[in-house]
Chains A and B, each alone.
Chain A
Amino acid sequence: MPVLWLVLIVLVMAVAGYMLGRARALKSAGGDSRDLHSLPSYYGANVTIMTLVPAVGILIVWLLVQPILIDRTISSTVPAEAISDSMTRGLFMSDVRRIADGLDLAVTEGAMGRDEADNIRAEFTDIRDRLGNLGVALGSDVGPEVLRAAQRYRTMSSAGNLLMTLAVLAAAGVGFTISYMATGKNFRARNVVEKVIRYLLIFAATIAILTTIGILLSLVFNTIEFFRLYPAEDFFLGLTWSPSFGGGSELGILPLLWGTLYISIIALLVAVPIGLFAAIFLSEYASSTVRSFAKPMIEVLAGIPTIVYGLFALLTVGPLLMRVFGDDGIGIMQAGTAVMTAGLVMGIMLIPFVSSLSDDIINAVPQSMRDGSLGLGATRSETVKQVVLPAALPGIVGAILLAASRAIGETMIVVLGAGAAARLSMNPFDAMTTVTAKIVSQLTGDADFASPEALVAFALGMTLFVITLGLNVFALYIVRKYREQYE
């Protein structure tokens, strides 16, 4: 039975449960809802929840676990020699799945009988051709082992699906019955319903943690896998980055880190002075009219998607720099995509980030501090330089660190604006590349996910994650300490 139908049946049971539970509760109180412990709708909701939650829970878990179990079972029954040298077990299994899906499709489309699908032999039929007619493209001819595995896969899946249907319906039925029987005028339905809602709320709050765990697991496992294929010290200490999918790649992270760092530094050199001075001007000097116009205008820069900045770097800033520093000008720039291009544009992107964070922080310095300084006959700039900024310094350092972490993690600007060559150079007009840009290029090709050239992206991602996380934790800690000081 398709999952959709199953879900619909459970939903119908849930709705029926609501009405029946409500009716039963009212009846037990002789039709007078004042005699009930809770409002009638809570009794209905109770039955609905008890029907829905266990059934849906089982459904979700089953859907997640079944494929893994079947995969594992089938995979263990396939002998190692059945897998040709050119492919891994993972690729073999994905072929199996694709054929199994193709057979399913063939049956539903009527191109194949049920029995035929179960018993068809690769030795006698060209499966690839027949499935190809249905729009299922297979990479190679289907060998007998693959086909047999695929057929076993189908049988197990359909058996599993049947079991799942039964289990889900049983859970729904049991939940329904128990909660319906429990419904009566003294039953504390509201408390039960509220408890369930509370657990749902807790679950929602936990998703943030699950996301982090998901990030960590997906990074850690693949990184370990990568280090099994490629030595860790070569990765962390290597000075060359030259991946080649034919093998013999050199995957040293240092050139990428250098590119990342160089671009971030240029970006900060642009963003920090401009952002900081803009924040000082807007919070200490500007009249309220200027402020109410200029502040949102500068913040518009923060709302512009990074792809726009990327295009701006590639098509506007790059050619502009070329005209000055390229062969027609000074002659130290080979192409429009360079560290300087990406750094400048990223700096523009970070201006509002630095300015609005610094603005908050400068405004957190108590007015009495400024009054004290002005009252002594200090000018505004003396007040800013000698009283406000020193007081706000920790917060501003925090803001700059947050901006740095943004710069290091930024992707689109460097993918489009920085070039693709990994090199260790001091010339800011050279093309260089970054960790993020290489994550994109290593994972968007047609590479085999099991090769070190693709897996290296996870190790790069891990490095990026650790660096930005460290910066963030540190920066947030500083900012929080700073805030507490003036609260």
Chain B
Amino acid sequence: MYDTPKVENDVATTDIKISAHGCQVYYGDTHAIKDVDIDIEDTTVTAFIGPSGCGKSTFLRCLNRMNDTIDVCRVEGDIKIDGEDIYDPKVDPVQLRAKVGMVFQKPNPFPKSIYDNIAYGPRIHGLAKSKSDLDDIVESALRRAAIWDEVKDRLLAPGTGLSGGQQQRLCIARAVATEPEVLLMDEPCSALDPIATAQVEELIDELRGQYSVVIVTHSMQQAARVSQKTAFFHLGNLVEYGDTGQIFTNPQDQRTESYITGRIG
């Protein structure tokens, strides 16, 4: 599988995958996201940074409508993926989430075998026509999540028995197995130790070739290491958005600079 290197991403980087305009989010009476405009590119890692409570996770959860599961949450404005408004009443969030996968802060493998964890998505979406098809999907997802070698001998062991870093990579493999176009990651390394973090970061970098990856992180170093684009959120506002290098070396906004240099946060 590692035999056909192609360089396609330099063409794709200019495509806009997700674009949000005038996006507002309310939790009951709280105005959590204020008028955010952002264009997220395909085959790029985009990092959302900012102090805790700044709304970066909330905004991320808007991108695959996970906020629908919270009763009091209300989203206004428009968010488009490939030019289609995802909050259009005709859009089924289930179909959307198959297209926009998500990895959560804490590794959350299902209390099933490793195989069933990965096969869960393909099964519900009907991606496999046969058992061997499914086997292939599972294997390739585990390979892409760089965990195949560690688990190939115990695919039927429970996923909850893996170490924290392995669990998180299992969750990434699980997300990848449904063939998403966008991968959202909500602080995927916050519950992991440094070694596991390094592995996951490496993986994210590899995934960039195929997906538009959006990662929320509270660690500026991590953002600098893995992302090409960075967005800085503060108090529900998108303060600054641009190339990662430029944000970290030459921020345009006073608040970004304060955050980068550690004065707020």
Contact = CB atoms under 8 A, between A and B. Distances in A.
Interface of A: 287-288, 366, 368-379, 382, 386-387, 390-391
Which of A370, A377, A378 has the most C-beta atoms of chain B within 10 angstroms of its own C-beta? A377
Given A288-B71, A371-B104, A376 B98 contact: yes
Contacts of B110: 369, 372-373, 387, 391
Contacts of B96: 377
Interface residues of B, number: 28
Given A376-B98, A377-B178, A391-B111, 17 more contacts: A287-B71, A288-B71, A369-B111, A373-B120, A375-B64, A375-B102, A376-B97, A376-B102, A376-B120, A376-B124, A376-B175, A377-B94, A377-B125, A378-B124, A387-B110, A387-B120, A390-B112
Nearest to A388: B110
B95 interface: yes
Nearest to B160: A485
Interface of B: 64, 66, 69, 71, 94-99, 101-104, 106, 108-112, 120-121, 124-125, 171, 174-175, 178
Contacts of A382: 124
B101 A375 contact: yes
Contact of A366 (B98, B108, B120): B108
Contacts of B174: 372, 376
- Please list the 10 inter-chain residue pairs (A to B) with the smallest Cβ-Cβ separation, ordered nearest first: A377-B98, A375-B102, A377-B97, A368-B108, A372-B108, A376-B121, A391-B111, A378-B124, A379-B94, A382-B124
Contacts of B109: 372
Contacts of B98: 376-377
30 contacts: A287-B71, A288-B71, A368-B108, A369-B108, A370-B69, A371-B69, A371-B104, A372-B104, A372-B110, A372-B171, A373-B120, A375-B97, A375-B104, A376-B97, A376-B98, A376-B102, A376-B121, A377-B94, A377-B95, A377-B96, A377-B124, A377-B125, A378-B121, A382-B124, A386-B120, A386-B124, A387-B120, A390-B111, A391-B110, A391-B111
Contacts of B99: 377
B72 to A, nearest CB: 9
Nearest to A382: B124
A371 B108 CA distance: 9
Contacts of A378: 94, 120-121, 124
Contacts of B111: 369, 390-391
A314 B97 CA distance: 54
A370 B120 CA distance: 13
A378 B98 CA distance: 8
A366 B69 CA distance: 14
Contacts of A288: 71
A368 B97 contact: no
Contacts of B112: 390
A370 B110 CA distance: 9
Nearest to A372: B108
B178 A371 contact: no
A50 B103 CA distance: 69
Contacts of B120: 373, 376, 378, 386-387
A288 B94 CA distance: 23
Contact of B97 (A287, A374, A387): A374
Nearest to A376: B121
Contact of B66 (A287, A374, A390): A374
Contact of B101 (A368, A376, A391): A376
A366 B109 CA distance: 11
A371 B69 CA distance: 9
Contacts of A366: 108
A186 B101 CA distance: 76
B38 to A, nearest CB: 21
Nearest to A369: B108
A379 B108 CA distance: 18
B24 to A, nearest CB: 22
B29 to A, nearest CB: 16
A377 B104 contact: no
Contacts of A373: 110, 120
B201 to A, nearest CB: 21
Nearest to A370: B69
A68 to B, nearest CB: 58
A375 B175 contact: yes
A374 B102 CA distance: 9
